[in-house]
């Protein structure tokens, strides 16, 4: 029996969502790993007993930040790529989705979108209407930095911290040597 294009696209859509979900899980595991190691190493570098090894700690911390940046930037790129692939398959399924909804006497809601799509409107179950999603202190969506970009931001912040720590160490080294 032949498989329809809609069946293939539905299977592909599910596979792409699974891959995106798994990638996000791996991404946050890496984020947590780098954050814990970087914060611990930086905290350790502040101890007075570590002055003999401070240069190595700064160098290692800076290298770790650069490695973190590389992984975070790659992860962020891949999330964007996977989301666009999911959006493509969702768009390709539009005709069959609309037909299936119409067959059951339903309209496709305006806010109906693919997994990973972040729209401004959503279905409000209390009112039964599509409405703007409320933004308040407890619900925020930054227009400038997304959650997937936090790894890049934190990696850069730690690189700056390590550069500042290295500059202070060099200043202390020259002052005590003079």
> CA nearest 79: which of 2, 148, 158, 146?
148
What is the model's pTM?
Answer: 0.82
As given in the structure block, the two tokens for residue 49 are: 């007993």
39 vs 158: CA distance, rounded Å = 8
What average pLDDT does this structure show over 168-177? Answer: 85
160 backbone φψ class: left, alpha, beta (φ>0; ψ -120 to 50)? alpha
Radius of gyration of the chain (CA): 24
**Quick one: pLDDT at residue 62?**
97
Higher pLDDT, 124 or 25: 25
- The answer to whether 97 and 111 are in contact (CB under 8 A) is no
78 vs 84: CA distance, rounded Å = 10
What average pLDDT does this structure show over 21-44? Answer: 95
Helix (H), strand (E) counts: the chain: 4, 2
Residue 76 has pLDDT above 90, yes or no: yes
As given in the structure block, the two tokens for residue 26 are: 């791996």
Mapping DSSP to helix (H, G, I), strand (E, B) and coil, where does residue 139 land?
strand
Residue 69 has pLDDT above 90, yes or no: yes
23 vs 118: CA distance, rounded Å = 18
> CA nearest 65: which of 166, 173, 153, 177?
153
């Amino acid at each position: 029996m032949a498989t329809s294009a809609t069946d293939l696209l539905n299977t592909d859509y599910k596979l792409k969502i699974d891959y995106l979900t798994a990638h996000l899980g791996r991404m946050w595991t890496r984020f947590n790993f780098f954050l814990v190691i970087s914060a611990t190493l930086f905290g350790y570098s502040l101890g007075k007993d570590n002055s003999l090894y401070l240069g190595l700690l700064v160098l290692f911390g800076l290298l770790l930040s650069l490695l973190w940046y590389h992984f975070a930037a790659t992860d962020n790129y891949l999330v964007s790529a996977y989301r666009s692939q999911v959006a493509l398959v969702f768009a390709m399924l539009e005709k069959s989705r609309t037909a299936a909804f119409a067959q059951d006497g339903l309209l496709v809601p305006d806010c109906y979108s693919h997994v990973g799509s972040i729209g401004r409107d959503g279905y409000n179950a209390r009112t039964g209407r599509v409405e703007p999603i409320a933004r308040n202190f407890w619900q925020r969506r930054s227009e400038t930095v997304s959650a997937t970009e936090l790894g890049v931001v934190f990696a850069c912040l730690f690189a700056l911290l390590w550069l500042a720590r290295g500059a202070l160490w060099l200043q202390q080294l020259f002052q005590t040597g003079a």
